[in-house]
């Protein structure tokens, strides 16, 4: 039987949650010929046996060069598409609009893979371009949302119910819990160890967690040590706040770590303070490490079954964040209770179940 040919179209392989999801999927799909076409190359990505990866551009800040890069990318995309049975495209606004154009010129279908809560983030466009963006979403053969939260967010953004949307969670392939290089970064201290992992950007809201830890320490409610694993635009702002409030002994900043699982495993509490999330990989990693969780009512709530498997707070509510830290930090019994449920929480996301869903979807396409 001939292999089913899939062209994945991605903005870049920056090793975020969406990229990890893509990597895990292409490793797991049987009997498929897979190519990944990337708009630009930000860093080197690991070799994937049997998978072709093509980077079309290098990043640029020059507006004229950005236009040229998009034209080059569109031309390359048009040349590749006829060789594949279907394109699966990351739902980035300009890629959506390009997808529609490629479909019209090649008569090939495209799927959009939704990895963000679009209504929370909004559109970068206005007016007629924004309407065209929404139109290109509606014209997709199918949408694949990583969570029900993600699907509902897209429905709110478009203003109507999605009838052609499949909800398929990301495939979980965990890295080793023992890693000599990462283990050397683990903080050894007597305080209760809190950890958060993720890109340092405004929507991830790590500064709110830093402020919450500061307030708890200053009020002498608990003795805490916070480790932040990640890098991004908010790094300097967080560092400045730590220095201004003399928190150097209470907060450790670690820039991006290849395998954060040993560090997560060493913590007493994992916190996800994000303002928006579709299906956060770090919540799965914390469950795998059996670390009790505090998370916002975003896509994380879907994984934690509305509070069955961890404490939930409203996004952006500083009072709830502080209260949750004190509640979970003060009760070893409650932490052990959530630890005991971690394996159960992961059962609906078993890789074999997710792969079956993808195979069902692709079988419908091929028939």
* Segment 317-354, tens digit of pLDDT: 999 999 999 999 999 999 999 999 999 999 999 999 99
Which pLDDT tens digit goes with each residue over 203-220?
A: 999 999 999 999 999 998
Return mean pLDDT, the chain.
93
Cα gap 151→144, rounded to integer Å: 8
In sequence order, what are the residues at sequence separation of 6 or more whose Cβ sits closer than 8 angstroms to the Cβ of residue 266? 186, 187, 193
* 84 Cβ neighbours under 8 A, 6+ residues apart: 5, 6, 7, 35, 108
Q: For the chain, what are the domain ranges?
A: 4-172+350-366, 180-348
Q: Which two tokens stand for residue 242?
A: 């730590």
Q: What is the CATH number of domain 180-348?
A: 3.40.50.2000
Percentage with pLDDT > 70 across the chain? 99
Task: Decide if pLDDT at 53 tops 70.
Answer: yes
pTM confidence score: 0.93
Mean local confidence (pLDDT), 89-114: 95
CA distances from 65 to 34, 57, 62 (A): 29, 10, 5
Q: Do domains 4-172+350-366 and 180-348 have the same CATH topology?
A: yes
CA distance 9 to 99: 9
pLDDT computed for residue 1 by the predictor: 54
Q: What is the dotted CATH code of the domain comprising 4-172+350-366?
A: 3.40.50.2000
pLDDT in tens, 262-273: 999 999 999 999
Of 182, 208, 186, 160, the C-alpha closest to 319 is 208
What is the pLDDT at residue 281?
Answer: 93
> Collapsing DSSP states into helix, strand and coil, what is residue 283?
helix
């Amino acid at each position: 039987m001939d292999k089913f040919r899939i062209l994945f179209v991605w903005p870049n392989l920056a090793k975020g949650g969406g990229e990890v999801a893509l990597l895990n999927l292409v490793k797991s799909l049987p009997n498929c010929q897979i190519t990944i076409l990337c708009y630009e190359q930000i860093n080197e990505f690991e070799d994937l046996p049997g998978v072709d990866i093509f980077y079309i551009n290098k990043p640029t800040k020059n507006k004229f060069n950005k236009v040229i890069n998009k034209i080059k990318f569109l031309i390359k995309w048009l040349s590749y598409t006829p060789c594949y049975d279907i394109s699966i495209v990351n739902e980035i606004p300009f890629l959506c609009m390009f997808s529609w154009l490629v479909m019209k010129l090649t008569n090939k279908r495209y799927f959009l893979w939704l990895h963000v809560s679009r209504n929370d983030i909004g559109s970068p466009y206005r007016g007629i371009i924004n309407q065209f963006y929404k139109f290109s979403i509606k014209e997709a053969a199918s949408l694949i949302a990583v969570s029900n939260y993600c699907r509902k967010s897209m429905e709110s953004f478009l203003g109507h119910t999605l009838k052609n949307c499949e909800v398929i969670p990301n495939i979980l392939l965990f890295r080793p819990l023992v890693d000599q290089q990462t283990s050397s970064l683990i903080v050894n201290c007597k305080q209760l160890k809190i950890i958060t992992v993720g890109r340092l950007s405004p929507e991830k809201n790590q500064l709110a967690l830093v402020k919450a830890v500061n307030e708890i320490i200053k009020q002498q409610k608990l003795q805490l040590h916070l480790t932040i694993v990640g890098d991004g635009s908010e790094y300097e702002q967080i560092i400045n706040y730590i220095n201004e409030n003399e928190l150097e002994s209470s907060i450790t900043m670690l820039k991006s770590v290849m395998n954060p699982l040993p560090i997560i495993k060493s913590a007493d509490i994992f916190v996800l303070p994000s303002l928006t999330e579709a299906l956060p990989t770090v919540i799965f990693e914390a469950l795998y490490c059996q670390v009790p969780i505090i998370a916002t009512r975003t896509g994380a709530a879907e994984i934690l079954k509305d509070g069955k498997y961890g404490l939930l707070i409203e996004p952006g509510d500083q009072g709830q964040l502080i209260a949750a830290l004190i509640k979970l930090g003060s009760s070893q019994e409650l932490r052990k209770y959530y630890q005991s449920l971690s394996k159960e929480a992961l059962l609906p996301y078993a890789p074999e179940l997710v792969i079956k869903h993808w195979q069902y979807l692709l079988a419908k396409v091929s028939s």
